Structure 1
Amino acid sequence: MFRYFENLVNPYPPGVPETPPRGLGAFILHFSRPVLPLLIVMSLLTALVSATEVLFFSYMGELVDWLAGAERDGFFAEYGWRLAGMAALVVIGLPLLTLLQSLITHQSIFGNYPMIGRWLAHRHMLSQSMAFYQDEFAGRVSQKVMQTALAIRETVMKLMDLLVYVIVYFIGAMLLMGSAEPWLMLPLVAWLAGYIAIMKVFVPRLRQVSMEQADARARMTGRIVDSYSNIQTIKLFADTQREQDYARDAMEGFMTTVHRQMRLATKLTVSLTLLNSLLLAGVAAIAIGAWYLEAVSLGVIAVAIALVMRIRFMSNWILWEVAGLFENIGTVQDGINTIARETEVKDASHAKSLEVSRGEIRFDALRFGYSRPDGEKNRVFDGMNLTIAPGEKVGLIGRSGAGKSTLANLLLRFYDLEGGRILIDGQNIAEVTQESLRRQIGMVTQDTSLLHRSVRDNIRYGSPEATDEQVLEAVRRAHAEFIFDLVDHKGRRGLDAHVGERGVKLSGGQRQRIAISRVLLKDAPILVLDEATSALDSEVEAAIQEQLDTLMVGKTVIAIAHRLSTIAMLDRLIVLDEGNIVESGTHSELLVRNGLYASLWRRQSGGFLGLDTEEEGERQHGRPLDVES
């Protein structure tokens, strides 16, 4: 039975993820559609349960009158069937209604509903551009996804519960009391007016402080996660006090909102208690007066007092539910600012899969700049042209900020161009799917980041269908045999060992070799090496360089390196300066020109004490020295 109701909703809706709308109602509806029919059924069942409870109050009033006026000897003969009907409703009807309502609420909706929100929001977040994540804390984004999904569920379910209870109970109470004595309705009407006034005063304030609190909580969490993510840097500079102060500043901002919220809570509680006391006193006074004038029976007094006590307890619950409702609405609105952002880099509606047969890359009139907070652009390229022939091995050289890594990022379409085109075998990368583009490009970066999963999963990430034999071959070729000696804190060994968040348990060189293994296994026709061997020692680098030479055979290669000796043997070297190609040619040709490349080469291979004339001549004529910078 439980499994049937649990499976009524698929918590992982299929289909292409869409950008959620920015309007509050439309945003909530976007994540609620799969459970909307069940939410309606839940509300109808809640209304039936509430109506049944109101009916009990009516029965209790009648029971008091029966007991007051009936003779004991003939009581069961006269009222037996009515008592049996009441008992059946209490013992059988209400539990069955409650069971069905609980199955729909807890098995079908409660767990699945927020998971739908998390699934859809997470898929949309994965499609966001690199620029999005450069402006956001990872912890802040993940918290928004988790909190907003729960807040959507709480907002909708609280709203439906409140509407049902207020409508059913209040209307039921008015009808029961009004049918016996119209004057009994007067305190209820006055109470409702006072209740609405209290809500108008306090709820907007609670809503505002809740929104500020959600933002303060996210800021606090983001700062804490930022500290944990960069724990090595913090310890390296021995500045934990600064981190404590940085976190405490956010915590104090959060506590300011908490104190404001609790002050409002105290004022609200006292105001509501006073209003409820006036309601109880008013109904009791009118009921007793009506009984004294013989206008109502004892049963009516019992029902009136019981309903008022029920409304009194419910009013506290309702007001706090309303406060919680607006707190959740504040959380949802705060989440909209992060989750409902349009994806900057999108696949075109007519996008096809990229087919690479030769591997020619052409950068045609490239225009691109990074956006700044003030709306201006940090211009990187303004009309740059470059063609890389199929199978050509090209090295990109230049000072920091010249545009080398930006060119690689644009090739992978991490950012969209402002003008121009990038063509691979004549296909505009803006008109192919991003996934198919990146499947055709293998890349090893300087700052290698690994997933907190097993070594095997990390290596197979670019080729999920690879066998263990293929994984082991990639490990051997990348000289990453250290893997077989790894043991994690749970005792998992070798390829099964987990590497920690971002690979923190491994050295930079170890992470680099795993990354090279991953690219070797992927075996893509286009290869991008961005300081691929920068974290390796000389002996390992020399060994891996041989494997990279083998890997580059038949592939189009773009290699970025500050250590020029690692790319001097490539087919062509491109020297960039301020986003422009200032030199192009082989290592020997560029040395002869005695331009920027020759200057950089001399800076790395010369300038050491003891450099004699013969060595200087060798350097000038293209023979690199056995010296590393």
Structure 2
Amino acid sequence: MKPAHLIDPFRPARGAPPRRLGRFMLWCLRGAWPAILLAAAISALSGTLEVLAALLLGVVIDTALEAGPQGFFATHWPLLPGLGVFFILLRPAVLGLSAFASSVVVQPNITPMVQARLNRWTLGQAVGFFDDDFAGRIAQKQMQTARAVTDVISEMVNVVAFALATLIGSAVLLTTIDLRIAAALSLWLMAYFALIRWFMPRIRRRSAARAGARAAVSGQIVDTITNVKTVKLFAHDRYEEDSVRAALGSYRDKAAGFGQVAALFRVSLLALAGVLPVVLIGGALILWSAGEASAGDIAAAGAVALRIAQMTGWVSFTLMAVYANIGEIENGMKTLAAPHALTDAPGARDLRMRDAKVAFDGVTFTYGRRGGGIQDLSLTVRPGEKLGIVGASGAGKSTLVSLLLRLYDPEEGRILIDGQDIAQVTQESLRRGIAMVTQETAMFNRSARENILYGRPGARDAEIIAAARKAEAHDFILGLRDGTGRTGYDAHLGERGVKLSGGQRQRIALARAFLKDAPILVLDEATSALDSELEASIQFALHRVMEGKTVLAIAHRLSTIAQMDRIVVLHEGRIAEQGTHAHLLSRAGLYARYWTRQSGGFIGLSEVEQ
């Protein structure tokens, strides 16, 4: 195995991310600890060599003074080659190995590993998790947290392990000179750590506040850019600019607050660092004047004091960065480590699809409110049946199919597919068995081929083209050209498919559903963006793709479902009527009034029946 591969960056983490810092870090880094500890050990060895360098300096000075100018080279010349081996070969080799372990083994692998784990967990969240937040903010939190975890580990390896080894080695070295010198260093270290302990929680809190404000800025900007067409149509450039400016103002205030405490921390530590050389060198001089220390001891104590004083600024800056990153990790953890609202039941098995029979058994779901959604609904869709679902806005149509896809769990009742409670099967297997085309078609900023291929990854080009032909999409796809010159099926569609018309997006989505070829097909206003002529042109394809499948089709345009085997009319979350198109018209009830009152083939969106 290559050294760079000592950490598997895509090894999944077991279980949910904990919501306490220490355990969260362990979850993020599980599997990487052997490489991290090895890198820390090499860094500690580098710190020990710094102390050894001071010790060698003292030995050389004492030996030179003892032997005198004439006798040193005659009797102690091997010291020079020894110094050369240490400073030219050993020390650079160990420091280089430490740099390699950090920059090649640890850092490049930790960031993708943490972000992959957080992204995997985030993708498992229920739809409501994403409905309640900005997409940009969630993405920012993932990147921010992964980077912060990497920085904490990197600094702990590069600096903290190095500094601790240097301090411990220095204490041991000073003990060999005189216990009183070592005691002076101990007192200084106590003051040093007391100062750190006072400042670090404050840095941590202000860093978390700064991270939250930064993520809010990203969320606001991404939200504006994502909806830039709406911004332009309503001439709200200034309104959005003011919103971003307000978010930036909050970030500026939080960043300034962090900067104030950070600056005070550094000044305090640097002042304390200046005390150390005075105390150690002064103490060694006092002992030397009393005949209790040698000139080499003075040199060694001075080298140690200067090295620690220099290192203090470096360490203080690093610790400030570590605690700032910890604040960012805690801030990201609050969002990203939220438990999943919808989980597979313990021991859940894959859905075994046989006949594709769907049954709603006394289902109630009101989104946690007293009204809305659906109420005590029972409905069976027979294998291969084509069921149309109509009703005014808010009648519960989309709620019905959202529950079937288990985007939400019923508050009461259950939903069965071929006799299997969907709450007891894996969500992935459930959704594999259902193809869906929605009113708001979702497109990726990828090629037309990739967008269609999303229905069944691994399908051949011939199958992709056949699906596009069925959806009446092939011809317009051949005419596509994006900003980089890619054409046809290779052309990218822009974010959320903005380069396509509504009808073109819907036909791509239909092609995706055709390619998936799932036993259950859900059409949620699947032809709403098509004009009547185009809709008529793909009716044959729609009926052909529905053959042999269980179909649930929601539509405001009643002409699209008039030929269904059965039509269910929902009103205030309950089934008001059901039957064939002709039967429902003959009843002169809700459906007949919808049919009579519709304008251009659509049910009035504000339709209210008295």
Q: TM-score range by the shorter chain?
A: over 0.9
For the Cα contact (< 8 Å) 2:372–2:394, is it kept in 1? no
The answer to whether the aligner puts 1:81 opposite 2:78 as a matched pair is yes
Name the structure 1 match of 2:128.
131
- Structure 2 distance, partners of 1:378, 1:182, is 78
Aligned partner (choices 489, 493, 496) of residue 487 of structure 2: 493
- Structure 2 distance, partners of 1:100, 1:149, is 25
Name segments (4+ residues, structure 1) moved above 6 Å: none
Q: Give CA deviations for 1:346-399 in whole Å, capped at 9, x if unaligned.
A: 22233222233322211001021214xxxx565522321011111211111111
For the Cα contact (< 8 Å) 1:5–1:103, is it kept in 2? no
Aligned partner (choices 508, 518, 524) of residue 514 of structure 1: 508
List alignment gaps of at least 5 residues for structure 2: 603-610
- Structure 2 distance, partners of 1:271, 1:437, is 60
Counting only pairs closer than 5 Å after superposition, residues 184-199 of structure 1 correspond to structure 2 as 184-199=181-196
For the Cα contact (< 8 Å) 2:437–2:523, is it kept in 1? yes
Greater CA drift, 434-443 or 253-262: 434-443
Greater CA drift, 283-292 or 486-495: 283-292
Name the structure 1 match of 2:534.
540
Q: 1:84 to 1:378 in 2, by over 3 A?
A: farther
Q: Give CA deviations for 1:166-201 in whole Å, capped at 9, x if unaligned.
A: 432223223323322444335423422322232133
Match of 2:457, SS state, is coil
Counting only pairs closer than 5 Å after superposition, residues 258-269 of structure 1 correspond to structure 2 as 258-269=255-266
For the Cα contact (< 8 Å) 2:567–2:581, is it kept in 1? yes
Aligned partner (choices 5, 8, 12) of residue 6 of structure 2: 8
The answer to whether the aligner puts 1:467 opposite 2:464 as a matched pair is no
Name the structure 1 match of 2:608.
none
Letter in 2 for 1:452: N
Greater CA drift, 41-50 or 527-536: 41-50
Name the structure 2 match of 1:574.
568
For the Cα contact (< 8 Å) 2:351–2:426, is it kept in 1? yes
Match of 2:2, SS state, is helix
Q: CA deviation at 1:547?
A: 1.0
The answer to whether the aligner puts 1:296 opposite 2:289 as a matched pair is no
TM-score (norm 1): 0.91
For the Cα contact (< 8 Å) 1:395–1:570, is it kept in 2? yes
Letter in 2 for 1:449: A
Q: 1:270 to 1:9 in 2, by over 3 A?
A: closer
Aligned partner (choices 20, 28, 31) of residue 31 of structure 1: 28
- Structure 1 distance, partners of 2:486, 2:371, is 47
- Structure 2 distance, partners of 1:430, 1:88, is 69
- Structure 2 distance, partners of 1:329, 1:277, is 28
Q: Give CA deviations for 1:307-363 in whole Å, capped at 9, x if unaligned.
A: 111111111122222211111111111122122222222222332222333222110
> Once the two structures are aligned, what percentage of the paired residues are identical?
43
Greater CA drift, 472-481 or 266-275: 266-275
Name the structure 1 match of 2:447.
454
Q: CA deviation at 1:549?
A: 1.5
- Structure 1 distance, partners of 2:22, 2:371, is 38
Q: 1:261 to 1:221 in 2, by over 3 A?
A: same
Name the structure 2 match of 1:62.
59
Q: Give CA deviations for 1:499-538 in whole Å, capped at 9, x if unaligned.
A: 1111111111110111111111222221111111111122
- Structure 2 distance, partners of 1:498, 1:128, is 28
- Structure 1 distance, partners of 2:432, 2:35, is 41
For the Cα contact (< 8 Å) 1:18–1:124, is it kept in 2? no
The answer to whether the aligner puts 1:207 opposite 2:200 as a matched pair is no
Name the structure 2 match of 1:615.
none
Counting only pairs closer than 5 Å after superposition, residues 275-354 of structure 1 correspond to structure 2 as 275-354=272-351
Greater CA drift, 549-558 or 166-175: 166-175
TM-score (norm 2): 0.94
List alignment gaps of at least 5 residues for structure 1: 609-629
Greater CA drift, 246-255 or 68-77: 68-77
For the Cα contact (< 8 Å) 1:360–1:424, is it kept in 2? yes
- Structure 2 distance, partners of 1:438, 1:577, is 27
The answer to whether the aligner puts 1:404 opposite 2:408 as a matched pair is no
Letter in 2 for 1:496: D
Name the structure 1 match of 2:469.
476
Q: 1:182 to 1:357 in 2, by over 3 A?
A: closer
For the Cα contact (< 8 Å) 2:221–2:244, is it kept in 1? yes
Counting only pairs closer than 5 Å after superposition, residues 355-394 of structure 1 correspond to structure 2 as 355-371=352-368, 379-394=372-387
For the Cα contact (< 8 Å) 2:148–2:329, is it kept in 1? yes
Q: Give CA deviations for 1:376-431 in whole Å, capped at 9, x if unaligned.
A: 56552232101111121111111111110110111111111222111112222122
Q: How many residues align?
A: 601
The answer to whether the aligner puts 1:434 opposite 2:432 as a matched pair is no
Name the structure 1 match of 2:119.
122
- Structure 1 distance, partners of 2:123, 2:9, is 18
Aligned partner (choices 226, 241, 246) of residue 243 of structure 2: 246
- Structure 1 distance, partners of 2:162, 2:2, is 28
Q: CA deviation at 1:448?
A: 0.4
Aligned partner (choices 543, 550, 558) of residue 556 of structure 1: 550
For the Cα contact (< 8 Å) 1:448–1:511, is it kept in 2? yes
Name the structure 2 match of 1:395.
388
Match of 1:71, SS state, is helix
Q: 1:563 to 1:439 in 2, by over 3 A?
A: same
Match of 1:332, SS state, is helix
Match of 2:42, SS state, is helix
Match of 1:370, SS state, is coil
- Structure 1 distance, partners of 2:287, 2:576, is 101
